[in-house]
Structure 1
Amino acid sequence: MYLSTVPPEPSPSEGLPRHVQDQIGRRLNELIPSVDTVGFDTRLGQVVLRLRAALLDAEAERQITKEFGDELIALVPRLRRFARLRTGSEAEADDVVQATLMRAWEHRSQFQAGTNLVGWLFTILRNTHLNQRKRLRREVEDVDGVFAGTLSAAPDQEHRIALFELQAALDALPAEQRETLMLATVDGLGYDEVGAILGCPVGTVKSRVSRARERLAATLGLS
């Protein structure tokens, strides 16, 4: 079973005290809640059911290991959350996850047992979304996505305002800093895993995360 690498302790050069970093992490998790389950009455849920059956057949024919099939299904909620972070739209996120699962199935022979499955899947998802966006030649807006859903469930006006401020601060970040921060902070991936997904050195990942945190802290008045 895959165990996520715990990100290393930040060096003093990263600047922000640990409690400020923790504050940012908690706020981001409030803004973008995790998705624990996928309803089997949904279109994506039906895809997962069919994929599970295909994986069992492939396991019986010794095309894949049981660990690969179990882990792939278990990672669907995390793929869904990552897709929502990228698209801002629940419906589009499910489409991206569906395409990702299909590509993972088609290229299952390319995955090397014992290597990082979550990194492999996240890379497929990211590339799938980038290719779709290029084909559509448009940027996706947050119409019915994670942020809107979070606001509708917010308990009071003060909390809603805080979430709006956080979303605005995130939107003001450079895209590469925002995505790197989300992967490292919200999804809890190690810096090496984030670097593999984004195709950049670990030092670049650390720098982007540090700068993103510092800009968020300054904008939100955290200390």
Structure 2
Amino acid sequence: MTPEPDLREALLAAVPGLRAFAISLSGQVDKADDLVQDTLLRALSNLHRFERGTNLNAWLFTILRNLFHSEYRKRRREIEDPDGSYAGRLKVQPEQGSHLDFEDFRTALFQLPSDQREALLLVGASGFSYEEAASICHCAVGTIKSRVNRARIRLAALLNVDDVDDLGPDSMTRAALQG
């Protein structure tokens, strides 16, 4: 719809004031120009809502202000990430896989002889030194080292773990199986 010539002239006359207001709101000339353009498009598409005889500039400035605030609210939740590096850091391991891995680990752990399981849990999961674990179990340090080593080998076999890459993201499993 083409506006009447006098309304068209009034719209064009309002552009410098709209642009100045848009620059003061956005702080950037290119964004201000886009905002003025969007304002004029919105005004032209809603020209039937403008009441003749009222203040055209006030109506246009209101449209511009509302567009700016709508855009601001929308962009406030957005993060600029032109190269995708931020989005790349947001990935999360799926939870169901680690839950199933933990269940497999628990099942395998309880297949170990109790003395090996105890030594492995003290050293691998609880973080005690071999000396501290030996003191807790009332045995020699060499015995604890031997039990932990045999437990790790047996657990790796039960879980079909050939190397460190097979362990997955679970830190408890890694601690129990690594030396």
TM-score range for the pair, normalised by the shorter chain length: 0.3 to 0.5
Structure 2 length-normalised TM: 0.41
Structure number with greater CO (CA < 8 Å, separation at least 6) is: 1
